[in-house]
Chain A
Amino acid sequence: MADANGTLIKMEGVKKVFYTDEVETHALEEIHLEIKKGQYISIAGPSGCGKSTLLSILGLLDSPSGGSYWLNGQPVAELSTSERTRIRNREIGFIFQAFNLIGDLTVYENVELPLTYRGSGAAERKQKVQNALERVGMAHRLRHYPSQLSGGQQQRVAVARALVGDPLILMADEPTGNLDSKNGEAVMELLRDLHRNGATICMVTHDQRYANFADRSIHLFDGRITEETQEAHASA
C-alpha cells in the first residue's frame, strides 16, 4: 500500500504514555501522520510538547503505547528488537542536537560506524564514507578527532554519518540547537541540498526560520498535532 502512492510513514492514533512515580505523562495523544517519500517535514512546538518523543517513535528508538505505525508499509509493532535495530541501521539516519560523535573515533571512523554495524565490506565502506563526507564538505578532515573540529563541522560530520547508509529517511532532533546562527544556517543549507537531491527528512526544531526550510510543518501542542502548514515551494 505504501509504495504505490509513495507513503513512507503512516501513523494512526499513536499515543505515548510515560509512567513515572505514579504520575502518568501523556506525551503523545492521537497522532495521525503520513509522510511521503521525498518530503521534508518539520515538527515544531513548545518545550515538552512531545517533539522528541514523536521523533524517537518515528525513528524506532521507542515504541508507542497505542495506535499503529507503518514504516515503508510494514507494521512496526510486530517487529522484534533485532529487526528494529536492523531497520534503524539501514533505513533511518539520525542527526542529534548534541552531535553525539564518539570522541575516541576519528571523523572517518565515526561516519563508518553504521556501515560497520551493517557488516559492509571494507572497500564499500571506504567508498561510501568518502562519498558521504564529500557531500557534507568534510572530506579533508578524515583523520581528525571530533574534539579538533568546530561545532558546525562536527554536526556536518554527524550528517554524513546519518547519510552514509543511504537511509530512507533522515531524523534530526534540533540539529542546530547547539550551533550559533552562522553554523546553524550552514547545516540547514546542507539539509536543504540533500532534500533537493531526493532525501526524505523529518526534523524537530523550534526555530521558525528553520521550519520554513521544510515542505510541511507540523505543530505539536500537549502531545497533539494542532496545525499543519504546507509551504508554497512544495516538493516535486
Chain B
Amino acid sequence: MGILWLDLRHALRQLRHRPGFTAITVLTLALGIGATTAIFSVVYGVLLRPLSYPKPEQIVRLWEVDPAGHRMNFAEPNFVDLRAASNSFAAITETGGDEVTVTGGAAPTRVNAAVVSQDFFKVLGVSPVAGRGFSPEDQRQGAAPVLLVSHAYWQQYLGGAPDLSRFKLVADNHVFSVIGVMPQNFSFPDNTALWVPRDFFPPDTSRTAHNWVVFGRLTDRASLPQARAELDAIAHRLKQQYGQDTDMSAASIIRLQDAMTAQVRPALFLLLGAVGFLLLVACANVANLLLAQSAARQRELAIRAALGADRHTLVRQFLVESFVLCGISGALGVIAARWGVDLLVALAPKDLPRLDSVSTNLPVLFFVLCLTILLSVALGIFTAVRATSGDVREALAEGGRQQISGPRSQRFGRTIVVAQLATTMILLVGAGLLGRSLLRVLSVDPGFRTEHIVTMDLAFPALDHALPELPSDAEKAARVHEIDELFARLRGVPGVESVAGGDTLPLVDNSVSNGGFLILRPGQQPQSIEDFEKLGHNPSITGYADYCVASDDYFRVLGIPLLRGRFFDGRDTLDAPHAALINEALARKRWPNEDPLGKTIEFGNMDGDLRLLTIVGVVGDARNRSLETRPDPTIYVDYRQRPMRTTSFIVVVRTAQPPASVIAAAREILRDIDPNLPPHFQTFAQVFASSLASRRFNLMLVGAFAAAALLLAAAGIYGVMAYSVARRTRELGVRIALGATAGDVLRLVLGQGLGTTAIGVAIGVAGSLALTGMIRSLLFGVSAFDPLTLAAVTLLLAAVSLFACWIPARRATRVDPLEALRYE
C-alpha cells in the first residue's frame, strides 16, 4: 500500500511538471469519454433500460402477418379468437385511439385518447393512483361513459383535485365521468392522456379492418418462442377457417421494448459505433503522446533501472500514471456527458421513443467507470511495455552509435497514426454517405410545394362515432358548414391568398389512411359493407389506394398540378354524384391504356358511404407519406360530399405574409367560430423540416464525430511528423550538406507523411467497404459503396494530412546543414 501511495504521488508530480502534456491528454480523453458516455446514455435510455413496468420482459406486442409476410395491426375478431385460444398469456389486450378534442377541463385541449380492452392495465401491471380502475360494469356497450386520466392531464386541466366526481369531460360528443388518475409518467401507448374502455363502443365485425394494436403479458411459464409457435398455429387455423375473409396467416410477437425501439435501433447503433471510433481516434492520440513522453523519459527510466527497479516496478509506475490520467479524464468526461445528454435530448428528433428515460443515471456512471478502467489499463500497459521493452534500450544506446536514427525508429507511432487515419476515414465515409443521402432526399421532387403555407391542424368530434350507423345528412351539413365558414373567414384575413384543407397533409405522421377499393360500373353499387367485401374477392376489379379528403383549393395551395379533367368545384354538393380525383400513380397502375375520367369506383369501406365515386380529374403525384417513399396510388374525395373523415382536419393557408400575423388572426377566427376547437399551427416548411429531423440528427452527430476525429487525426499525424523531424534534425542536416535541396527535403518528409496517409486511407477504404453495409437502411439514393463519397473523403483526408505534414516538413527544410558537423 505504501508503495502504491508513493507511486501515486510520483505520478501526480509527473503530471504537474508537464502541464501542457497533461492538459492535452486529459482534454482529448475527456472529449472521447464524454461523447461516448453521452451517446451511451441515449442508447441505454432508449434501447437497454428496462421499461418501468413490473416484469417488463414479459410484455410483448403482437401483429397479424399476411401470406406475403407483411405485419399488420389486428382485426378485432381475429384478436378475440386468438385471446380465447391462446394459453401463453397471463393477459392480452387490444388498443386503438386517436387524437381528440376534450372539453370540460380547465381549457379545451387536444390529447391522445386510447380505447383499451379489458386486460390493458393487467398487461402493463399498472393501476390508478387515485380513484378506481374500470369495473366490469363500465366495460360493456351502453354503459355510462367513464374514463381514466393521466397524471399530467389531471394536474394541468383538473387542478389535481382529489374529488374526481365533479368532472365531466366531453370528447367526440360523449360526456365521460372521470373515475381515476393513472400514475405519474404513465402515458402508454403514445403519450396517452385519456383511457376509455373498448367495450363502450360497438364491436368490429370485419376480419380485414386492421385497426387494433395488440399487447400481451406472457405467463411466467411461457417463453417467447413457445408463444410464437402457439400463435402461428392459431393463425393458421383461423386462415383455414375464414379463407379470403381474413388476411392473417401467421402472427408476429416481439418484446414490447424491442418493438418500441426497432425503428431507431440502426441509427442509435450507428451513433454508438461512430462515437466509439471517435474514442479510438482520441486514444490513439493519447497513446502517441504517451509514447513521446516515455521516449523523453528514457534517462529517468535508465536511472531507475540502474537503481534496481525491475520491470514490474516500472510497469506499475506507468499503470498508476495512466490511472490518474484516465481518472481525471473520466471525471471530466462525466461532466461533459451531462451537458452532452442535455444537448442530445434537446436536439433529438421528436419521434425518438423513450427520450424521457435518457439521463446520466447509475448504469451510465457504471459504464463510465468500466470505460475509464479499461482505458487506464490499456494505455498504461501499452506505454509501460513500450517504454520498458528492448526497443528503448536500443534507443538509449542510439546516442552512442555513429549512424543517425531514421524514420524506422518511429514505426510504432506511425502505425498508431495509420490506425487513426483508417478509423477517421470510416467515420468520414459514414458522414459522407449520410450527407449525400440527405442531399438526395432534399433533391427529390415531392410533388408539392412547401413555402408560404401555414397549416392549422384541428380535431373535430368524430362524425362516425355511431358506426355502423352513418351520420345524418344534417350532421354532415353542419360539419361542412362549419368548415366552409372557417374557410370564408380565413380568406378575408389580409395577406391570405388562398385557403384549403383536408384530412391529410403530406409528410404529417400517420395522417394517411388507405384501403382496398372496387372498380364498379354505375348500378353495381353494393348495398352493404358485407356486399362490398364479397365483391372484393374478385381481384380484377379491386385496387389498393390511399384515401384523402380534400377541399377544392387543396391542390392549388399545395401546388399539386391538375393533369387531366378538373378539380373539385361548386358542382360537387352533398347530393350531386360524388366526385373523385386520382393521382397519376393510380391512373398509370389501374388504367394504363385507358382514360380514367368518368370511371366509377367504390371506396365506401373508408367512411361507410357506399355511393360510387366518379373520377373527374387526374392530379400529379405527391409524396404524402415521406420524401423517401414513392407516391402511392391515391384517391381524393371532396369534403363537402364525404365529410365523415374530417375528425382530423388540416387547414392550409397560402400567404406571403409572415406566418405569425396569419396565425394570430386565424386563432381569433377559430375562437369565434368554435371556442372548443384548439388548433395546432405550424408552417408547412416546419412540417417539411421535421420530416427530415432524424436524418439531420444522425448526420449532425456522425458529422460532428467525424470532424472531431479528423481534427484529432490531423493533430496525430502532425505530432508524429513533428516529432520525427525533431529527432531527425541531424540526418536532415547531413542530407542538406550533401546537396539535398529544400524540395528534396520537403518531398522526403511529405512523402513519408503521405505514405502513412496512403496506408491509413487504404485500410480505411477496406474498413468502410466492410462496415457501411451495416448502415444501408439509413441511406437513401446512394449506395453504401458510393465511389464519389469514397473519392471525396480520400481527397479530404489526404489534403488534411498533407497540410498537417507540411508544417513539420517546412521546418525540416530550414534545418541548418551545420548540424552535420555537430558532434556530441
Contacts and interface: CB of A to CB of B under 8 A. Distances in A.
Interface of A: 52, 55-56, 59, 61-62, 81-82, 85-86, 88-90, 94, 96-105, 113-114, 117-118, 145-147, 151, 154, 161, 165, 173-174, 177-178
18 contacts: A61-B737, A88-B737, A88-B739, A94-B737, A96-B820, A100-B734, A100-B820, A101-B404, A102-B406, A102-B735, A103-B405, A103-B408, A104-B406, A114-B739, A146-B403, A151-B402, A154-B402, A161-B738
Residue from B402, B408, B735, B742 whose CB has the most chain A CB atoms within 10 Å: B402
Contact of B739 (A89, A96, A103): A89
Given A61-B817, A102-B731, A82 B402 contact: no
A28 to B, nearest CB: 14
Contact of A104 (B408, B738, B820): B408
Contacts, number: 90
Nearest to B730: A100
Contacts of B737: 59, 61, 88, 94
A113 B738 contact: yes
A124 to B, nearest CB: 16
B740 interface: yes
A94 B733 CA distance: 12
Interface of B: 401-408, 730-731, 734-742, 744, 817-818, 820-821, 823
A146 B402 contact: yes
Contacts of B820: 61, 94, 96, 100
B403 A103 contact: yes
A61 B738 contact: no
Given A52-B821, A94-B820, A102 B741 contact: no
A55 B820 CA distance: 12
Nearest to A113: B738
- Interface residues of B: mostly helix, strand, loop or mixed? helix
A97 B822 CA distance: 9
Nearest to A145: B403
A101 B823 CA distance: 13
Contact of B403 (A56, A97, A101): A101
B401 to A, nearest CB: 7
Contacts of A104: 406-408
Contacts of A99: 402-403
A70 B820 CA distance: 23
Given A59-B737, A97-B823, A165-B739, 20 more contacts: A52-B821, A82-B741, A85-B741, A86-B739, A88-B739, A98-B402, A99-B403, A100-B404, A100-B730, A101-B404, A102-B404, A102-B406, A103-B401, A103-B406, A113-B735, A113-B738, A114-B738, A146-B402, A151-B402, A178-B402
Contacts of A118: 739
Closest 10 CB pairs of A and B: A89-B739, A104-B406, A146-B403, A103-B403, A117-B739, A100-B734, A101-B403, A61-B817, A99-B402, A98-B823
A103 B735 CA distance: 13
Contact of A62 (B407, B818, B823): B818
Residue from A55, A99, A161 whose CB has the most chain B CB atoms within 10 Å: A99
A88 B736 CA distance: 9
A86 to B, nearest CB: 7
Nearest to A177: B823
Contacts of A147: 401, 403
A61 B406 CA distance: 22
A154 B402 CA distance: 8
Contacts of B406: 102-105
A101 B731 CA distance: 8
A25 to B, nearest CB: 14
Nearest to A60: B817
A85 B823 contact: no
Contact of A96 (B736, B742, B744, B821): B821
Given A56-B821, A61-B818, A94-B820, A85 B403 contact: no
Contacts of B734: 96, 100, 102
A110 to B, nearest CB: 9
Contacts of A97: 821, 823
B282 to A, nearest CB: 31
Given A89-B738, A113-B735, A118-B739, A103 B404 contact: yes
B554 to A, nearest CB: 76
Contacts of A90: 739
Contacts of B818: 56, 61-62
A101 B734 CA distance: 8
B307 to A, nearest CB: 29
Residue from B401, B405, B408, B734 whose CB has the most chain A CB atoms within 10 Å: B734
B739 A102 contact: no
A101 B744 CA distance: 18
Nearest to A110: B403
Contacts of A61: 737, 817-818, 820-821
A56 B408 CA distance: 30
A85 B739 contact: yes
B739 A55 contact: no
A85 B402 contact: no
A117 B402 contact: no
B821 A173 contact: yes
A101 B406 CA distance: 10
B438 to A, nearest CB: 47
Contact of A102 (B403, B742, B817, B821): B403
A146 B742 CA distance: 26
Residue from A62, A117, A177 whose CB has the most chain B CB atoms within 10 Å: A117
A147 B403 CA distance: 7
Given A100-B404, A113-B735, A55 B821 contact: yes
Nearest to A86: B739
Contacts of A52: 821
Contacts of A105: 406
